[in-house]
């Protein structure tokens, strides 16, 4: 059964690998993936300072999400599911956790700067489009920004 729990600082390297494997499902080449490396890294310090939750299936990491809040908005920093477990409900469960965490921090909306291939997932979860923003990793690339009312 899929269960959620807070990430542990020592899981940083394994969670970073999970993020990279997950991002690569969209078919990006090595150059693109290398450019994303920094943005997809979860350090022990981030895990301690931020809200980071993992999904586990039978004791194995199945996905990870990170939320940062400031004032009345919160940002979904990461949401990555293990490639072999896509479309099995882990994304929805982690997003539900992200929404609850953001709400508890006083946010009224969760902002998502999404991979273009993931945007339809967020729209299905109730997010609405809010323009395009520059990618944090690839100069000149624009990605969808979405807003999920809480």
Ligand X SMILES: CC(C)(COP(=O)(O)OP(=O)(O)OC[C@H]1O[C@@H](n2cnc3c(N)ncnc32)[C@H](O)[C@@H]1OP(=O)(O)O)[C@@H](O)C(=O)NCCC(=O)NCCS
Binding region for ligand X (CB under 6 A): 22-23, 25, 79-81, 86-92, 114-115, 117-118, 120-121, 124
- In sequence order, the β-bridge partners of residue 6 are 53
Q: Which is nearer to ligand X, 15 or 81 (CB)?
A: 81
Query: Minimal CA–CA distance to 67: which of 57, 77, 79?
Result: 77
CA–centroid distance for 39 within its chain: 11
Q: How far is CA 96 from CA 76, 79, 142, in A?
A: 11, 11, 26
Q: Which is nearer to ligand X, 17 or 120 (CB)?
A: 120
C-alpha count within 13 angstroms, C-beta hemisphere, residue 100: 10
Q: Give the position of tokens 């896509």.
A: 86
Q: Name the residue number minimizing CB distance to ligand X.
A: 91
In the complex, minimum distance from the CB of residue 9 to ligand X, in angstroms, rounded to a whole number: 22
Q: Give per-residue burial for 76-97: e unless 16+ CB within 10 Å, then b.
A: bbbbbbbeebeebebbebbbeb
In the complex, minimum distance from the CB of residue 134 to ligand X, in angstroms, rounded to a whole number: 15
In the complex, minimum distance from the CB of residue 121 to ligand X, in angstroms, rounded to a whole number: 4
Q: Which is nearer to ligand X, 3 or 106 (CB)?
A: 3
In the complex, minimum distance from the CB of residue 8 to ligand X, in angstroms, rounded to a whole number: 21
Q: Which is nearer to ligand X, 29 or 106 (CB)?
A: 29
């Amino acid at each position: 059964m899929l269960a959620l729990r807070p990430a542990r600082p020592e899981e940083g390297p394994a969670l970073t690998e999970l993020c990279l494997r997950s991002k690569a499902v969209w078919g990006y080449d090595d150059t693109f993936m290398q450019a994303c490396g920094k943005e997809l890294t979860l350090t022990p310090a981030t895990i301690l300072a931020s809200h980071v939750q993992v999904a586990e299936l039978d004791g194995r990491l199945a996905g990870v999400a990170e939320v940062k809040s400031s004032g009345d908005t919160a940002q979904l920093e990461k949401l990555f599911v293990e490639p072999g477990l896509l479309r099995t409900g882990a994304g929805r469960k982690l997003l539900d956790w992200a929404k609850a965490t953001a709400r508890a921090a006083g946010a009224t909306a969760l902002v998502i700067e999404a991979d273009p291939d993931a945007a339809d997932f967020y729209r299905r979860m109730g997010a609405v489009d809010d323009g395009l923003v520059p990618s944090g990793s690839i100069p000149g690339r624009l990605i969808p920004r979405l807003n999920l009312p809480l």
